[in-house]
Amino acid sequence: MTKYGSFPGTRPRRLRTTPAMRRMVAETRLHPADFILPAFVREGVSEPVPIEAMPGVVQHTRDSLKKAALEAVEAGVSGIMLFGVPEESKKDGAGTAGTDPDGILQVALRDVRAEVGDDLLVMSDLCLDEFTDHGHCGVLDADGRVDNDATLERYAEMAQVQADAGAHIVGPSGMMDGQIGVIRDALDQIGREDVSILAYTAKYSSAFYGPFREAVGSALRGDRKTYQQDPANVRESLRELALDLEEGADMVMVKPAGPYLDILARVAEASDVPVVAYQISGEYSMVEAAAERGWIDRDQAILETLTGIKRAGADNILTYWAVEAAQKLR
């Protein structure tokens, strides 16, 4: 046989010969502790409500949410991120249900924290979009634009009530300028230096959020392009990262995950705190829809997408498959 360079002496395929060999030399490994489960809890329902655009995902009742949290503990998942879905009549322009100590999100935080204690990190979405009648992530000015600084005042109050309700970690997702510093100050003012902030550092204005808006009953008209990031930009994410770290972020996030693996890799390279990626609703629903039609192998696709996110640099992944994937790995 003619020798071409180091071939035939060098054969990389030797390290792919058997499952045991591939497992031994794997450069990226998934673990149940990598995962965080996003979960929706809806006010005023007696049974879990299936989300049509997200097969297998539901809007929980308070009781079913507690069961889901216990299941996550048993699977070895690290955390659960809660999103509250209030009754329509409780939505208003300021999103006051989001700061009501008896609002659905705060009640759910207390429920889950009482159920799991410190065995699972109880995390809360810190944003107004689920609670406003216009669906935006902040309060609006007289011209109908999101008022950044007025919204920060609402976020500060929201952080305090979520901490009081039992959140270990708050996740400000609204992409307001200065939100991390304002929230850190608000938490410290009430003696909650122990509550961590997961900054939604690079959150892009994405078409892949579509199913999520059904999940939270969003009233949004229009878009969020004036505050979420432009999909065309990279440097912008690194600037946001520098600002969030300066303001005191304990962890940072890239969202969505799959379409933005290049951003995730850049953020992971530059960050000196843990990096989280959110595999969002549209990513989930595409796999589920294709698998339901027999076009792809569902189980392989789930683990492949999660491995790709981990390989790109994520320390942790929010995914609707968190419990299922953890159980498969165990």
Active-site pick, 66, 91, 225, 255: 255
Q: Is 117 left (phi over 0), alpha (psi -120 to 50) or beta?
A: left
If 0-12 CB within 10 Å is exposed, 13-18 middle and 19+ buried, where does residue 170 land? buried
Is residue 203 part of the annotated active site? The answer reads yes
Alpha-carbon distance of 234 to 236, in angstroms, equals: 5
In sequence order, which residues have a C-beta less than 8 Å from that of residue 278 and are 6 or more positions away? 38, 253, 254, 255, 256, 257, 317, 318, 319
Distance of CA 266 to the CA centre of its chain: 19
Q: Is 317 left (phi over 0), alpha (psi -120 to 50) or beta?
A: beta
Only one residue has tokens 């432009």, namely: 230
DSSP for residue 14: G
Measured from the Cβ of residue 309, the count of other Cβ atoms closer than 10 Å reads 29
Is residue 90 part of the annotated active site? The answer reads no
Active-site pick, 66, 91, 203, 310: 203
Catalytically active residues, by annotation = 203, 255
